[in-house]
Amino acid sequence: MNPTRAALVLTATALAPVLLLSTPSFAAGTAAAPTAAAVAAVADSDADNAVAIAKLLADPASGRAVKREAQKALDGTPADRVAFLTTGLAIAQDEDNMVAILRILGDPATGRSVKREANIALDGTAADRTAFLKTGLAIAQDEDNKVTILRILAGKPGKAVTREANKALDGTAADRTAFLKTGLRLAQAEDDRVTVVRILTRPGISPALYAAAEKALNGTPEELRYFITVGQYQV
């Protein structure tokens, strides 16, 4: 790890969340993080430059480095403001993008494809990092989501999970995200209800098991899953 990245790792660890990283948990799908505060052009007057910088400070998409350097420029001279808008903004934005990428890498839910592309972006140019956060992250996350769904199918799940997983694989990236975020849980509950109904129809089922199965059938998906994996054996 080079010294710059090592310093950024420490920064990323210490920072409270400042960039709008969205995650249905990376395992379930991730939308691209914003990559830059609004681009500001150098104006003819210092007053206009000050207004442009103030807008950057007020922009929720501005990261900590952009805000820090913008505030310095605003408190400085007209030349400082021109320098910030000419070169400082891009440098500060790239620092924020590096921190955002390092936080993605530090998330234990981040998949293999996202980690691979994130590391390529970190080792590349500022443009590479912007491209990763703008489009590459979503593409890599979808690759990871496909792998996750294929692993679910390889486990020979029930009919409903198999049906919905195949629909997601044949659909869009958004379909795969939705399946992993909510569809899997609902499909698993459908399969679990079928399993519980079969338990209820067993010959000679004990009253205690029958009562527990009925209670699970009227419960949440999580209660159904618990009954099938643990509860029925406890009864």
Mean pLDDT of the chain: 87
CA 36 to chain centre: 18
What six digits make up the tokens of 41?
A: 């052009």
pLDDT at 215 over 60: yes
The pLDDT tens digits for 108-160 are: 999 999 999 999 999 999 999 999 999 999 999 999 999 999 999 999 999 99
* DSSP-derived secondary structure letter, 222: H
Please tell me the total number of residues recorded for the chain in this structure: 235
Distance CA 182, CA 178 (A): 6
Give the start-to-end residue ranges of the domains of the chain. 3-145, 156-234
Beta-carbon contacts of 110 under 8 Å, excluding residues fewer than 6 positions away, are 26, 104, 118
Asked if residues 224 and 216 have their Cβ atoms less than 8 Å apart, the reply is yes
The pLDDT tens digits for 22-57 are: 333 444 444 445 455 546 778 789 999 999 999 999
* DSSP-derived secondary structure letter, 31: P
Host H or E run for residue 173: helix 173-178
